[in-house]
């Protein structure tokens, strides 16, 4: 199944030879099956050296993948949610797909600076003066 192409979107597809799967013993529920069958999947993908991904995705990947990305630029996705190997394999591929889609999103529009309105400035200053008056009234009572 690792030989199957992973389609990310209409422009990005990862060839099966770029993905490496290792199966390891999983922890958690599953009874005796956990001790006998290697159901957990460790999916590896050389993200930074992949010919399938655009440069923008590779640049954004460092922040998106976080600790899932090794120093060499290899993404390591681990899945042991399910009791069967096939479902864990699909889950790992979906996790990789979601992370690449997140890295492929366009950057947010730049922030436009705005000025506060004249009315909001006046209200703010009036409120500050009112708070100052309240604090002045808290002082000692003097002789009048």
Residue 27 CA to residue 40 CA, distance in Å, equals: 8
pLDDT in tens, the chain (144 residues): 556 888 888 888 888 888 888 888 877 666 666 667 788 889 999 888 888 888 888 888 888 888 888 888 888 999 888 888 889 999 999 999 999 899 888 888 999 999 999 999 999 999 999 999 999 889 777 765
Q: Within a domain: residue 53?
A: yes
Residue 92 CA to residue 82 CA, distance in Å, equals: 11
Domain count, the chain: 1
- We report the CATH number of the domain holding residue 67 as 3.30.160.20
Q: Within a domain: residue 92?
A: yes
Q: Within a domain: residue 71?
A: yes
Instruction: Indicate whether this model's pTM tops 0.75.
Output: no
Residue 49 CA to residue 74 CA, distance in Å, equals: 9
Instruction: Please calculate the CA angle 51-53-56 and round it to the nearest 5 degrees.
Output: 125
Q: Within a domain: residue 41?
A: yes
Q: Within a domain: residue 129?
A: no
Q: Within a domain: residue 16?
A: yes
The sheet carrying 74-79 orders its strands as: 19-24, 40-46, 74-79
Q: Within a domain: residue 112?
A: no
Q: Which residues form the domain of 83?
A: 6-104
Calculate the alpha carbon distances from 98 to 34, 64, 101, 107, 122 in Å: 28, 10, 5, 17, 48
Residue 55 CA to residue 40 CA, distance in Å, equals: 31
Q: Within a domain: residue 97?
A: yes
Query: At 12, which helix (H) or strand (E)?
Result: none
């Amino acid at each position: 199944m690792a030989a199957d192409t992973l389609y990310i979107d209409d422009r990005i597809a990862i060839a099966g030879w770029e993905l490496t799967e290792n199966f390891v013993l999983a922890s958690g529920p599953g009874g005796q099956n956990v001790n006998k069958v290697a159901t957990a999947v460790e999916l590896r993908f050389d993200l930074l050296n992949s010919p399938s991904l655009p440069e923008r995705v590779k640049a954004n990947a460092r922040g998106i993948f976080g600790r899932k990305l090794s120093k060499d630029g290899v993404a390591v996705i681990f899945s042991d949610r399910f009791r069967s190997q096939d479902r864990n394999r699909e889950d790992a591929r979906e996790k990789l797909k979601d992370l690449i889609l997140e890295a492929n999103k366009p950057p947010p529009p730049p922030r436009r600076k705005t000025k506060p309105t004249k009315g909001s400035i006046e209200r703010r200053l009036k409120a500050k003066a009112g708070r100052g008056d309240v604090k002045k009234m808290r002082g000692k009572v003097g002789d009048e």
